[in-house]
Amino acid sequence: MARTKSYAKHKSQITNKSLLKKKLHTSQSSSESNNQSQIQIQKKRRYRPGTICLREIKKYQKSTQLLIRKLPFQRLVRDISKFFELQARWQERAIHVLQEATESYIVGLLQDSLLCTVHAKRVTLMSKDIRLARRIRGDESVTYRF
């Protein structure tokens, strides 16, 4: 009898055989359990880094809905207004308009600060970029530190 060389089996081949055995074993049971076992065997889809992020960016650029939730923003507005007038009452429409203006300002500020980041040949947006964008815009009247 001639001698033949035997090769080591890869781990992936072994697991594939065990998966086939599981499929054969489950095919003998009812069709309902067969569907459930195939769902358990299939791996979850793994996306490349950045794919989901780009999908979210496109989704939010298409939509016109507000990104900040209404109730937390409303509580913030009412809390800030207590410093100026004790019995201030707010209409829902007034808070909505204020929220739209706030989000528009924040989006514009972040766009300008992203340009500062690109100019500095960086990828990560830092607080110093936001400060520089506010300084260039002339928004230094409010002295909040980031």
CA distance 98 to 88: 15
pLDDT of the residue at 143: 59
pLDDT of the residue at 20: 56
Mean pLDDT for all residues in the chain: 82
pLDDT of the residue at 6: 75
**pTM, entire model:** 0.62
pLDDT of the residue at 83: 87
Domain 70-137 falls under CATH 3.65.10.10 = no
Contacts of residue 126, Cβ cutoff 8 Å, sequence gap at least 6? 117
- Tokens representing residue 130 in the block: 């936001």
* 70-105 b/e (C-beta count within 10 Å ≥ 16 → b): eeebbeebeeeeeeeeeeeeeeeeebeeebeeeeee
> Which residue bears the tokens 């569907």?
35
CA distance 126 to 116: 10
SS3 content of the chain, % helix, strand, coil (to 5): 60, 0, 40
Under 8 Å between Cβ of 97 and 74: no
User: Tens place of pLDDT for every residue, the chain, 146 residues?
Assistant: 677 777 776 665 555 555 555 555 555 555 555 566 566 677 888 889 889 999 998 999 899 899 999 999 999 999 999 888 777 889 999 999 999 999 999 999 999 999 999 999 999 999 999 999 999 999 866 555 54
